Amino acid sequence: MMKLIPSLFLLYNISTASGQLLSDLIQPNRQQLRQQPQQLISDNQQPSIQQQQSEQLLGSLITIIHDVTGDVFSVGDNQLRIRGFTYDGTGPEAFILAGTRGESPSEKDGDVVVAHPFQPRRFRYGDQDIPHLRKFDGEDVLLTLPQGVRVDQLTWLSVWCRRFSISFGHLIL
Q: pTM of the predicted model, to two decimals?
A: 0.70
Q: What is the pLDDT of residue 51?
A: 52
Question: What's the CA gap between 65 and 109, in Å, rounded?
Answer: 21
For residue 48, which of 85, 75, 25 has the smallest C-alpha distance?
Answer: 75
**Where does the pLDDT of residue 68 fall: very low under 50, low under 70, confident under 90, or very high at 90 and above?**
very high
pLDDT digits (tens, 9 = 90+) for 145-163: 999 999 999 999 999 999 9
End-to-end CA gap in the chain = 58
Position 65 pLDDT exceeds 50: yes
Question: What's the CA gap between 55 and 72, in Å, rounded?
Answer: 10
Contact status, residue 107 vs residue 164, Cβ threshold 8 Å: no
Three-class DSSP category at 62: strand
**Where does the pLDDT of residue 31 fall: very low under 50, low under 70, confident under 90, or very high at 90 and above?**
very low
- Residue 50 CB-half CA count within 13 A: 2
Question: What's the CA gap between 24 and 140, in Å, rounded?
Answer: 29
